[in-house]
Amino acid sequence: VAVAAEAFDGTARGYLDTATVGLGPRRAFDALAAHGEAWRTGRLDAAACDADVARSRAAAAALLGVTPDAIAVGSHFSPFAALVAGSLRPGDAVLVPEGEFTSLIFPFLVAERRGVTVTAVPFERLLEAIGGRTRLVALSAVQSRDGAALDLDALAMAADHHGADVLLDVTQCAGALPIDATRFAYVAASAYKWLLCPRGTAFLAVRPHALERLTPHAANWYANDDPWDAIYGLPLRLAAAARRLDVSPAWPCWAGAAPALELLVACGVDAIAEHDLRLAARLRAGLGLPPVAGPIVSVRAGGAAARLAAAGVRASARAGGVRLAFHLYNNDHDVDRALEALDGLEVSR
Ligand SMILES: Cc1ncc(COP(=O)(O)O)c(C=O)c1O
């Protein structure tokens, strides 16, 4: 992790805002710049851009514990949630946490117009709320608003026990925590945070039984095994694998995504998790907060945001607290800086 941290620019000191947007590694920026240069000078090779997507798909598969044929590429999270919501039937019951990020829940609230029902329960009561009527549980593994993290093993067991599918949003932890996407029907992430990609890149890992249920509502030329053979005319030609759900790629985004994801794979997500969780735990312990198995620390204390900003710490205000996020480019100095800035404040538990 220490070696990988060299891949980022030093101006990152005090940057504790990966929960809003991750830092682009230098090599990803260079690839993006080279792509821009080729675009500017009329040397862009559209077919060669496919290699960036293929590399990104393979790296995302490695980070999510699946094979590349289980991965669909997209631009943002919500279109994937919309595909899952579109597969539900009238009367299907969906369970979500209260205060969940809206890109995940709005598509299901729209599906309520077709007779789907959505129930929100407190995050900490989600597992016990799963029952025989639950068709789908849709949640973020790590909550955007305050960093609360769920035990994914317990989630998989509870959902399997009741025959419910899970749509797991890993936007706030893929790349920072090991994820075994084989345990859930759908696992998806927007990639511009912990996966360090340019915004405009997203992944869905889908299990074979669940893939059959999804209608590829946004079918397009790229969702074919050989996209360049599917650019004109009938009949409908879609890949058999998850690629059938691909959105045609925004090329510059993927030029930057491939090297960023490969950096994470080379570093190893277990090593990154150990690092990120250790730093977050150190901050929590220093503030007298209870432990949480995630890389985001939410601090509720009057004046905290102003103190952190004055100390040069970049964090984000969310849900009445300040959110500090630790990733591979952070180190103990960042924790010390935040602790010094918050010293003496009364922090609510
Ligand atoms: C949990 C979660 N999901 C999804 C997103 C982003 O959604 P989208 O890709 O639709 O912009 C965010 C952004 O903050 C998030 O925190």
Write out pLDDT tens, residues 28-54: 999 999 999 999 999 999 988 999 999
Assign 5 a pLDDT band (cuts: 50, 70, 90): confident
Q: Indicate if ligand 1 lies below 6 Å from the C-beta of 108.
A: no
Mutate-to-test residue for ligand 1 from 73, 144, 170, 195, highest number of ligand atoms within 8 A of CB = 144
Q: How far apart are CA 131 and CA 159, in angstroms?
A: 8
Q: Residue 228 burial by CB count (10 A; 0-12/13-18/19+): exposed, middle or buried? A: exposed
Residue 89 has pLDDT above 90, yes or no: yes
Q: Render pLDDT for 97-140 as a digit per residue (tens, 0 to 9).
A: 999 999 999 999 999 999 999 999 999 999 999 999 999 999 99
Mean pLDDT to the nearest integer, 344-349: 92
Assign 10 a pLDDT band (cuts: 50, 70, 90): low
Q: Indicate if ligand 1 lies below 6 Å from the C-beta of 87.
A: no
Assign 12 a pLDDT band (cuts: 50, 70, 90): low
Q: Indicate if ligand 1 lies below 6 Å from the C-beta of 143.
A: no
Residue 281 has pLDDT above 70, yes or no: yes
Mutate-to-test residue for ligand 1 from 172, 186, 253, highest number of ligand atoms within 8 A of CB = 172
340 C-alpha to ligand 1 centroid (Å): 31
Q: Indicate if ligand 1 lies below 6 Å from the C-beta of 103.
A: yes
Q: How far apart are CA 349 and CA 248, in angstroms?
A: 45
Nearest-CA residue for atom 16 of ligand 1: 144
Query: Cα-Cα-Cα-Cα dihedral of 59, 64, 67, 73, to 10°?
Result: -70
Residue 77 has pLDDT above 80, yes or no: yes
Assign 13 a pLDDT band (cuts: 50, 70, 90): confident
> Distance of CA 184 to CAs 99, 155, 167, Å?
22, 9, 7
Q: Indicate if ligand 1 lies below 6 Å from the C-beta of 144.
A: yes
Mean pLDDT to the nearest integer, 267-286: 98
Cβ neighbours for 126, distance < 8 A, ≥ 6 positions apart: 95, 97, 137, 139, 150, 155
Mean confidence (pLDDT) of the chain:
97
Mutate-to-test residue for ligand 1 from 73, 102, 103, highest number of ligand atoms within 8 A of CB = 103
Mean pLDDT to the nearest integer, 306-322: 96
Looking at residue 301, its pLDDT comes to 96
Residue 260 has pLDDT above 70, yes or no: yes
Residue 170 has pLDDT above 90, yes or no: yes
173 C-alpha to ligand 1 centroid (Å): 11
Whether the full predicted model's pTM is greater than 0.85, yes or no, is yes
Looking at residue 130, its pLDDT comes to 98
- Please state the separation of Cα 284 from the chain's center in Å: 23
Q: Indicate if ligand 1 lies below 6 Å from the C-beta of 323.
A: no
Residue 11 has pLDDT above 70, yes or no: no
63 C-alpha to ligand 1 centroid (Å): 18
Q: Taking a C-beta distance cutoff of 8 angstroms, is the pair 182, 206 a contact? A: no
